Structure 1
């Protein structure tokens, strides 16, 4: 079978993750006459497009969706698809269901590299697999040259359906936050104290909670837009640039192998922090900062069993058998501060991540996992490079990662390990005698900086404060790679907020062309 790709659109968007979806949504709302096409290299997993896999009720269908997200070489069919299974392991190359590791080039001799560097290929991108945490940045995490940042963050929260109170009725959430607050909140500003984690979730009237994926960001305004087209299994191999302006995209239809050029007035590259600079490089768009300032968040995890809590009567429904988040789950937030430059995510777990000596699994919610993310010591030399001769499994320029942890990073990781121990001691008892586990670089999946935003075109950034690529009119970049600051918090909300700013910039320019 063949399909017809559009010959010309007003806006071509590469990538269907939350940031690509944000461009499509804002433009559908503000420019209803504009034609928009989103091209996604991966397959459509479910209906509506971009659905989070955890919202797929049937476990076999959910497993198939995760396998189909794993790029050119999916994991074997018998590989577990439970995202918590094996999560807290010391594997040197940690891989999670629904993602695939960078096969080669992830570490250079004498460097730390990013052995955990991973991606997803599917409609919805990593937004079909993420944890939904949407904290706002603070202190040095914030982008100082964006005076409208709070407005953009608020719009990002609207698009993602962020709710800070979805789990207020979790059995032990209040006690967890009370204990954390007592141990950590002294001398913190009011907006940086322990709080419920803002989450991209929807709580339904019947008590169910579903995760927000790109489907929520697209929303009905996009899905009902007759001028919007989503094209899955379509690899964009080039942004066509002529006379200093983006003119469209070259697309390889992975269903039939056909090659197409789709003309466009504006092009948005919203792949991920590794594949967005890859496409620009392949297109001959190579500013000095492209791929540089690569930022991953060192991550330390620990787990405890809550002490001195009344578990109450046994629940009627075992949450471990449910595909959706349930009321037993709760997530607390320890915000980043400049004095304590870590971001803490404290999750009540429905089951223990490690085998326990007890004969019976503990009450759901009494096992608490703590994850501390560090702000990276940003270096221009940390970068992803691309080959002019070698290709990856998609036929795009092969990646080569250069990445080192500095002395400051090592000190930050050590401090984070101490901080997570202190937080854990306030909550309960360790599950075993192991120390906090620090994941290998890249395991956070929070890569940033490779197409970073800058206030001026001084050679240290790729794009302007509205996400337009310097010196290439009509070309915009989106995703975590645009974030220029060393943030420790989960980056999706900030990335979507920056996408909103870029989409508004395009909307302001989308006036009818003169004949």
Structure 2
């Protein structure tokens, strides 16, 4: 790295950090942008999606490289763990997520069961499910005008390359949508009826090509380093600031001790919902709401059996509404012969009923200055408690899962309805939440600018302040586009 200063520095190379870079470039063509990523570049294609690697052995090795500081291969599920899961119990394999690393482990009955994050060029964009469903009206930020937020969602769909029906023509999936629609469509607005799950993917002759941040960045990756540069395996130790203005960042190469200062006109912290508040904390930026209000939805998992010919390939989606708080994904899955119970003859179909959980300021991250993680930053722990409202919604979600399984065919024999611990979706949010006013209950404004700062922004699922049940990537990229637009507008006039 030869540059000592830049117009914009973005900490984190995932979908929202990449969206900031792309929109700033769109609206401010002459901007110099530096992106900082703690992990390595693991694919020749910058930010490419790992699921496009067809060699499964090679993909598994790449997933280990994507784990950041802890590069221990994750073990597959054991027979004992599988039997516990089938019976509806907790199994330890849920704490082993391929291609991700564990930030902390907690008692799953008492706390957010674990924290995960990716560390490689592309961030979680190399491993995300590519689901891009739109949030319901109840999930959207109430203090951003409806038309403005809808326009931002459409921008996000373009950045991510959303395909509304990536497996078009799947006759079995279409027939199932019609059956589900008879049950769930009455009373819904036309845009919230049962439909194919939108994915950030391009159909190919044999399979889908999944979109990573290579798609979000687009032509940026071909620019000269003088205008756009990604610093891989580079850790940001702190945001340097004075009198409400960020002046730049302190950086260090992974595994080295000597740091250097990169001056910047604007700083965007786009790590993730755990590491963005961690970096702000380490930088002495500690608003009252920092790390608080951590929230995620539960997943109620149900296996169903479907008599289908031809087999279903597409993923179907029942959207959340004001009256139906669950977002439901229905997809084909696989079972080996030893997994099937006697009489199981149809196609196995997996289902996830995403169930919202209540927001509570006491559900929070805590940082330990005495114990540092592999970044050299205060280690993270998570404190979280289930609410009475959560328990009531979960009972309704479990009943909904059985109801849907019966429409599909039947609940798969030998498989219990399972409530995965909150946090298992990796859709944490709220830890740097936006607010309508600087009243101590939020970290940033509606454009993701940190309160009391002129030029410091945050990005990622952590800015979402609402209760949600929908995959949040599209939503958080939409909010990122608003912040990026404001940066470009403000800086181009200077």
Structures share a fold, TM > 0.5?
A: yes
How far apart, in 2, do the equivalents of 1:353 and 1:413 lie? 31
Structure 2 counterpart of 1:369, from 346, 350, 356: 350
Structure 2 residue runs without a partner (length 5+): none
Q: Which stretch has the larger CA shift, 219-228 or 454-463?
A: 219-228
Match of 1:133 in 2: 131
Q: Tell me, what secondary structure is at the counterpart of 1:37?
A: strand
Instruction: State the distance in 2 between where 1:178 and 1:404 align.
Output: 39
Distance 1:332 1:116 in 2: 28
- 1:70 — aligned with what? 67
Contact 2:237–2:375 (Cα < 8 Å) also in 1: no
Encode CA deviations 1:183-230: one digit per residue, 9 max, x unaligned: 2223222222111111111124x3541111111111124533650000
CA, structure 1 residues 389+256, in 2 after alignment: closer, same or farther (shift >3 Å)?
A: closer
Verify the 8 A CA contact 1:329 1:350 in the aligned structure 2.
no
Cα deviation for residue 273 of structure 1 reads: 0.4
The yes-or-no answer on 1:279 pairing with 2:306 is no
Match of 1:321 in 2: none
Equivalent-residue separation in structure 1 for 2:223 and 2:329 (angstroms): 36
**More deviation, 148-157/165-174:** 165-174
Aligned to 2:213: 214
Give the distance between the partners of 2:337 and 2:301, measured in 1 at CA: 11
The structure whose residues are more often helix, as a share, is: 2
Structure-2 change in CA distance of 1:116 and 1:103 (3 Å): closer
2:247: which partner in 1? Answer: 247
Task: Name the structure 1 match of 2:320.
Answer: 336
The SS at the match of 2:362 is coil
Match of 2:116 in 1: 118
Q: Which residue of 2 aligns with 1:7?
A: 4
Say whether 1:304 aligns with 2:301.
Answer: no
CA distance in 1, matches of 2:176, 2:213: 31
- State how far apart, in whole Å, the 1-side matches of 2:37 and 2:155 are: 24
CA contact (8 A) 2:104 2:115 kept: no
Q: Deviations over 1:295-322 (max 9, x none)?
A: 0111111111213x3338xxxxxxxxxx
Q: Whole-Å Cα distance in 2 between the matches of residues 341 and 61 of structure 1?
A: 40
**Corresponding position: 1:445 with 2:426:** yes
Report the alpha carbon displacement of residue 32 of structure 1 after superposing the two structures with TM: 1.9
Contact kept? 1:239, 1:280, Cα under 8 Å: yes
CA distance in 1, matches of 2:286, 2:2: 28
Give the corresponding residue for 1:325: none
Number of equivalences = 483
> Aligned to 2:484, what secondary structure does the other structure show?
helix
**By how many angstroms is 1:446 displaced?**
0.5
Matched position secondary structure for 1:172? helix
Aligned to 2:38: 41
* SS of residue in 2 equivalent to 1:301: strand
Contact 2:104/2:382, CA 8 A, preserved across alignment = no
> Would you say the 8 A contact 1:25–1:222 is kept in 2?
no
1:236 has 2:220 as partner: no
Mark the CA change 1:277 to 1:431 in structure 2 (over 3 Å): closer, same or farther. same
The secondary structure found in structure 2 opposite 1:333 is strand
Where does structure 1 differ by over 6 angstroms across 4 or more consecutive aligned residues? 85-89
**Distance (whole Å) between structure 2 residues aligned to residue 477 and residue 5 of structure 1:** 26
- What TM-score does the superposition give when structure 1 sets the normalisation length? 0.89
Q: Which is further off, 378-387 or 346-355?
A: 346-355
The equivalent position to 1:422 in structure 2, one of 385, 403, 406, is 403
Larger deviation: 268-277 or 394-403? Answer: 394-403
Q: 443-452 or 390-399: which moved more? A: 390-399
Question: For the residues of structure 1 that align with 2:342 and 2:414, how far apart are their CA atoms?
Answer: 15
Q: Does 1:293 align with 2:293?
A: yes
8 Å CA contact retained: 1:352, 1:367: no
Judging changes above 3 Å, is the alpha-carbon distance between structure 1 residues 374 and 273 closer, same or farther for their aligned structure 2 residues?
A: same
Partner Cα distance (2:72, 2:391) in 1: 33
Deviation at 1:42, TM superposition (A): 0.9
Alignment of 1:161-172 (within 5 A): 161-172=161-172
CA 1:75–1:291: 2 relative to 1, 3 Å: same
Matched residues in 1 for 2:52 and 2:229: separation?
A: 24
* Bigger shift: residues 340-349 or 88-97: 88-97
Please state whether the residue corresponding to 1:329 is helix, strand or coil.
Answer: coil
The verdict on how the C-alpha distance between 1:5 and 1:91 changes in structure 2, with shifts beyond 3 A counting, is farther
2:362 paired with 1:381: yes
> Is the CA contact 2:447–2:482 (under 8 Å) kept in the aligned structure 1?
yes
Q: Any gaps of 5 or more consecutive residues in structure 1?
A: 313-327
Residue 403 (1) aligns with residue 381 (2): no
